[in-house]
Amino acid sequence: MGNRGCGCKSPTDRRIGANGHIEQSFDNGATWETDRDDGRFNAPIFPPLVGPPIGTMRCAGAKSGTEVQRILIDRIKNDSDVWNTVLSIIAAIVSFLAGFMGPVAAPVAVVITALAYVMWLLTQAAFQAENWDASLEIYKCILYCRMSGDVKFTETAWNNVKADIVEKMSGFSETFFWNTVQGLGPAGLTNTCRVFPGLAGDCDCACDCSAVTLGETFGKNLLSRPDLGVGWWQVTTTFDPDQPNCDNGCYFAEISIPACCLHNAYEIQPPGTNAPPGNRQAVDCNGNSGFANYGLGGCQVAIAFRSYEEAIFHFQILECP
C-alpha cells in the first residue's frame, strides 16, 4: 500500500543515481528524488583533528584515510574466507565501511555489489598481485589535495576525489578505490580521515591549484577564465541574510582552494562595489585568518570575497613560489 493510513507515501522503487545518491520513486519510476536518509551524506561526523596547522592537519587526515584503506586491503588480501562467495566479499567490505557511517549497511551494499563481482571474477590471487603500495600513495595525495583545511569532504570534494581516482589510477586499483569511496560518501570519507590522528610520515604531494571550488555557504557562478590568463577565475557574491552589520557589505563568495596556493591578483568588476579592506578575509596555509585585502600576494587555502551588493570578482590562483 502506498499510504498505510498515516498520510505519508511509501516509495515504489529505489536506486543509486548518477551522482551517487540513493534515490526513490513514488510513482513506479516515472520520477525520482533523493532519499535524505542516505547515511553516506548525513551520518554523524567524527570529532575534528585539533592542534596542528592546516597543512599538517590535512596531511594527518590524508594519512589516516589511507591507513583505513590499507587495513581493508590487507584484510581482503589475507583472509581466504572473504573469497568464499560474492556475498562474503560484499559483507566484508560493507561491514568495514559501515563502521565509519553508522547503520547504513543496505545502501552501501548496493554500491559495493559491482565491486564485489569484479573482485570475484579476478580472484584473490589477482588482488594480492596488485601494486597496492603505489596506489595507496596516489590515494593519500588525492585526499590531501581535495579535503578542507579542517579535514572534511563536501559533496563536491567527494565527487572530485572519485574523478581524481579515475584520472590517476587504472585497472583493479581504480575499481577498488572508486567503489569504496563511492560507498563511503562525504560523511564516511571524512570520518576515515579523522580516526588515526597521529600516524608517522610526510605528505609529499603536488596539488593542482587549478581545482578551485565554491565553499559550502556563499557565492555562485564559479567559472574558470583562461581567456584572462593562467589561473584566472570568476565568481559572483550572494547575500548573507544573517550578517549583523550590512554597512560593511552583506554579499560574499567563499572560495575553497585544494592546496596551499598563491592568491596572486583580483579585480572587482564594475559596477560592483568592494567592502572595506578590514573585512576582506582569507585563510593561509597555517590556519591564520582575517587578512586585509583577501590575503593578496600570499599562499592561501580559502578566500571570502565581500561586496556591498551582488558583484562579480575575477581572481588569480597560482602555485606558491
- The rounded distance, in Å, linking the Cα atoms of 120 and 126 is 10
pLDDT digits (tens, 9 = 90+) for 134-150: 999 999 999 988 887 77
- The rounded distance, in Å, linking the Cα atoms of 307 and 318 is 23
Find cell 582569507 and name the residue: 282
* 3 state DSSP class of 91: helix
Tell me 169's DSSP state.
-
Which of 83, 93, 160 is CA-nearest to residue 126? 83
Q: Which three cell numbers stand for residue 148?
A: 578542507
Predicted local confidence at residue 309, as pLDDT: 93
Over 90: is that where the pLDDT of 221 sits?
A: yes
Torsion-angle region of residue 232: left (phi > 0), alpha (psi -120 to 50) or beta?
A: beta
Over 80: is that where the pLDDT of 53 sits?
A: no
In this prediction, residues 235-264 reach a mean pLDDT of: 87
Range picked from 161-165, 255-259, 279-283 for highest mean pLDDT:
161-165
pTM of this structure = 0.69
For the chain, what is the mean pLDDT?
83
Predicted local confidence at residue 296, as pLDDT: 92
If one compares 109 and 57, the residue with the highest pLDDT of the two is: 57
Range picked from 29-38, 97-106, 171-180 for highest mean pLDDT:
171-180
Which of 207, 204, 203 is CA-nearest to residue 193? 203
Half-sphere exposure of 275 (CA within 13 A, CB side): 25
Asked if residues 14 and 31 have their Cβ atoms less than 8 Å apart, the reply is no
Over 90: is that where the pLDDT of 268 sits?
A: yes
Over 70: is that where the pLDDT of 19 sits?
A: no
Q: How many Cβ atoms sit within 10 Å of the Cβ of residue 241?
A: 5
Over 60: is that where the pLDDT of 3 sits?
A: no
Predicted local confidence at residue 20, as pLDDT: 64
Asked if residues 197 and 64 have their Cβ atoms less than 8 Å apart, the reply is yes
Predicted local confidence at residue 247, as pLDDT: 79
Q: Assign 301 a pLDDT band (cuts: 50, 70, 90).
A: confident
Residue 258: cis peptide before it, omega within 30 degrees of 0:
no
Q: Cα dist. 71→51, 82, 96, 115, 120 in Å?
A: 26, 14, 10, 17, 20
Predicted local confidence at residue 102, as pLDDT: 64
Q: Assign 272 a pLDDT band (cuts: 50, 70, 90).
A: very high
Q: Which three cell numbers stand for residue 134?
A: 603505489
Q: Which residues contact 242 (CB under 8 A, 6 or more apart)?
A: none
Predicted local confidence at residue 4, as pLDDT: 38
